[in-house]
C-alpha cells in the first residue's frame, strides 16, 4: 500500500479550498455571535457513554471506538457534537434561563452516511437551550437559512416535518408501540406494503393502518396541515404538532417550504418537535439538518428544552463555485529595515505579501500575484506586476 493513500471516504483539502472553508467558518461563527450565541469547543474524544444516546443506534454505529491508555475505558471519537454541547449546557454551565451555544469542529464517522459522503466532516451549528416554545424553533430555522445564504447558496429550499404526528398515531395503538422504530423507518420511505405486512404481523387495529397509509400521502405546501386535520385521527398530540408546523411556516414567508408528514428521517427517540432540512441545487443531500430535541440533557442530570441545527462546512464549500485565487503582493528578500516596515504595514492592512526567498520561483495555486514592491528614489513603492 502506498504511503500517501488515504482510507476510503477520507480526503485532503488543498490550499484554496481550505482557505474558503476557513473563511466560511469565521463568517458563520461571527454571524452566530451577532445573534447572541456563545462559542464552545468540546473535546474530539470522550468516554463512549457520554457521546451516546440510549436509543440512537445509528449514532452508535457511526462512532469510532478506542481504548483510553490511562483508564482502560472505551472512548469514542465524536460523530456528532450535539450531545457534547447538551452536556456542556446541562452539566457545566447549568444556567437557569435560555442559553444559546454555537460550535465548530471536526467529527469522524466510522462509515460514510451515503455513497457520496465523506467520513470526516467539519461540523458547525447552533443550539438554543431552555425555551420550549416554537419561537426558538423559528429563530433557529431563520439562522440556518441565513447561514447558507451568507455562504452564497441561492434559492435554498426548506423541508419541514413534525415526528409528533407519526408518534401520536403509533402511541395510540399498543401493538404498534412495540415496533415504533420499524414503523418510522417504513413511513420514511413510504413503504405501504411493508406497513400493511407489519400491521398484520403485530395485530394492529385497522384504523391505525388507515391512518399510517394516509400519512404517506400528506406532503406538499402548507395546505398539507389542513388536509391532515381533516383525515387523521382526532388526537391532541396530532393537533399540537400541526399547530406548531403552521406557526413555523407562517413565520418563514421568504423561503419555499415543503412539508412531508411521513418523512421521519431517523427522528424516532431523538427529535421531539418540528424538524427541518435545507436543500439547494448543486448538492445531492441536505445541506442543513435541525429540529427540536427536548430532554436530550436528561442523561447528564438536567432535561432541558432544546432546538438547533448543524451543517458540514466541507460539504457546503464543495458545492460552491471554484474558490478564487486571492490577490497578493510580491516582495524581494532583503535585510532592509525600511522594506521590513513597509511589508509589515501592508500585512497589517490585510494585504497578502509574499517575500520570495533567494532563488525561489513563483508557484502557488491560491495566490494571484499582481503587484510587487520595488525600490525607488523615494523608497519602497508598489507597482503593477508586468504580465509576460
Which tens digits make up the pLDDT trace of 100-120? 999 999 999 998 877 778 899
- Give percent of the chain above pLDDT 70: 96
Give the pLDDT score at 301.
Answer: 82
Taking each helix axis from N to C terminus, what angle separates 134-150 and 236-250, rounded to the nearest 10 degrees? Answer: 40
Specify whether the CB–CB gap between 89 and 99 falls below 8 A: yes
Q: Please state the rounded mean pLDDT for residues 125-139.
A: 95
Q: Please state the rounded mean pLDDT for residues 220-232.
A: 93
Give the pLDDT score at 103.
Answer: 98
Specify whether the CB–CB gap between 42 and 82 falls below 8 A: no
Q: How would you classify residue 155: left for phi > 0, otherwise alpha for psi between -120 and 50, otherwise beta?
A: left
Task: Write down the residue that cell numbers 414567508 correspond to.
Answer: 253
Residue 268 has pLDDT above 50, yes or no: no
Residue 273 has pLDDT above 50, yes or no: yes
Tens digit of each residue's pLDDT (9 = 90 or more) over 140-193: 999 999 999 999 998 999 999 999 999 999 999 999 988 988 998 899 899 999
Residue 239 or residue 298, greater confidence: 239
Give the pLDDT score at 385.
Answer: 85
Q: Please state the rounded mean pLDDT for residues 267-276.
A: 74
Give the pLDDT score at 115.
Answer: 73
* CA–CA separation, 328 and 186 (whole Å): 55
Tens digit of each residue's pLDDT (9 = 90 or more) over 50-97: 888 766 777 888 899 999 999 999 999 999 999 999 999 988 998 999
Task: Write down the residue that cell numbers 476557513 correspond to.
Answer: 22
Q: Please state the rounded mean pLDDT for residues 261-287.
A: 82
* CA–CA separation, 87 and 85 (whole Å): 5
CA dihedral sign, ordered 224, 290, 97, 295? positive
Residue 269 has pLDDT above 60, yes or no: no
Tens digit of each residue's pLDDT (9 = 90 or more) over 33-48: 999 999 999 999 999 9
CA angle 56, 167, 112 (to 5 degrees): 30
> What is the value of pTM for the model shown?
0.89
Alpha-carbon 332 to chain mean position: 44
Give the pLDDT score at 2.
Answer: 66
Tens digit of each residue's pLDDT (9 = 90 or more) over 348-377: 999 999 999 988 887 777 888 999 999 998
Specify whether the CB–CB gap between 330 and 385 falls below 8 A: yes
Q: Predicted confidence band at 207 (pLDDT cuts at 50, 70, 90)?
A: very high
Mean pLDDT across the chain, nearest whole number? Answer: 90
Which among 79, 85, 84 has a CA at the least distance from the CA of 126?
85
Residue 300 has pLDDT above 90, yes or no: no
Tens digit of each residue's pLDDT (9 = 90 or more) over 308-324: 999 999 999 999 988 88
Specify whether the CB–CB gap between 353 and 311 falls below 8 A: no
Residue 1 has pLDDT above 70, yes or no: no
Residue 195 has pLDDT above 80, yes or no: yes
Relative to beta strand 74-77, strand 64-67 is antiparallel
Amino acid at each position: 500500500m502506498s504511503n500517501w493513500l488515504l482510507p476510503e471516504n477520507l480526503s485532503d483539502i488543498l490550499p484554496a479550498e481550505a482557505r474558503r472553508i476557513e473563511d466560511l467558518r469565521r463568517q458563520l461563527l461571527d454571524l452566530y455571535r451577532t445573534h447572541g450565541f456563545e462559542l464552545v469547543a468540546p473535546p474530539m474524544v470522550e468516554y463512549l457513554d457520554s457521546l451516546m444516546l440510549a436509543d440512537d443506534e445509528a449514532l452508535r454505529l457511526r462512532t469510532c471506538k478506542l481504548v483510553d491508555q490511562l483508564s482502560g475505558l472505551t472512548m469514542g471519537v465524536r460523530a456528532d457534537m450535539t450531545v457534547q454541547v447538551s452536556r456542556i449546557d446541562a452539566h457545566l454551565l447549568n444556567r437557569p434561563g435560555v442559553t444559546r451555544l454555537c460550535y465548530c469542529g471536526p467529527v469522524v464517522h466510522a462509515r460514510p452516511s451515503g455513497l457520496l459522503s465523506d467520513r470526516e466532516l467539519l461540523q458547525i451549528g447552533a443550539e438554543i437551550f431552555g425555551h420550549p416554545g416554537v419561537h426558538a424553533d423559528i429563530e433557529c430555522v431563520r439562522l440556518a437559512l441565513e447561514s447558507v445564504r451568507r455562504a452564497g447558496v441561492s434559492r435554498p429550499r426548506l423541508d419541514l416535518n413534525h415526528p409528533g404526528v407519526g408518534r401520536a398515531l403509533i402511541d395510540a395503538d399498543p401493538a404498534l408501540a412495540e415496533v415504533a422504530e420499524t414503523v418510522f423507518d417504513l413511513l420514511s420511505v413510504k413503504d405501504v406494503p411493508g406497513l400493511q405486512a407489519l400491521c398484520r404481523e403485530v395485530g394492529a387495529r385497522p384504523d391505525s393502518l388507515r391512518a399510517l397509509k394516509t400519512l404517506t400521502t400528506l406532503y406538499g405546501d402548507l395546505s398539507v396541515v389542513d388536509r391532515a386535520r381533516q383525515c387523521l385521527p382526532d388526537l391532541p398530540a396530532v393537533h399540537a404538532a400541526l399547530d406548531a408546523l403552521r406557526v413555523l411556516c407562517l413565520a418563514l414567508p421568504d423561503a419555499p417550504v415543503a412539508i412531508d408528514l411521513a418523512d421521519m428521517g431517523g427522528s424516532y427517540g431523538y427529535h421531539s418537535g418540528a424538524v427541518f432540512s435545507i436543500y439547494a441545487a448543486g448538492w445531492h443531500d441536505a445541506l442543513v439538518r435541525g429540529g427540536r430535541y427536548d430532554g436530550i440533557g436528561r442523561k447528564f442530570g438536567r432535561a432541558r428544552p432544546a432546538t438547533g441545527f448543524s451543517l458540514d462546512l466541507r460539504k457546503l464549500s464543495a458545492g460552491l463555485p471554484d474558490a478564487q485565487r486571492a490577490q497578493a503582493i510580491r516582495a524581494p528578500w532583503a535585510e532592509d529595515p525600511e522594506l521590513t516596515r513597509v511589508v509589515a504595514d501592508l500585512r497589517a492592512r490585510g494585504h497578502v505579501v509574499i517575500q520570495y526567498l533567494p532563488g525561489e520561483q513563483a508557484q502557488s495555486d491560491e495566490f494571484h500575484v499582481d503587484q510587487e514592491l520595488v525600490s525607488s528614489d523615494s523608497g519602497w513603492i508598489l507597482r503593477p506586476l508586468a504580465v509576460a
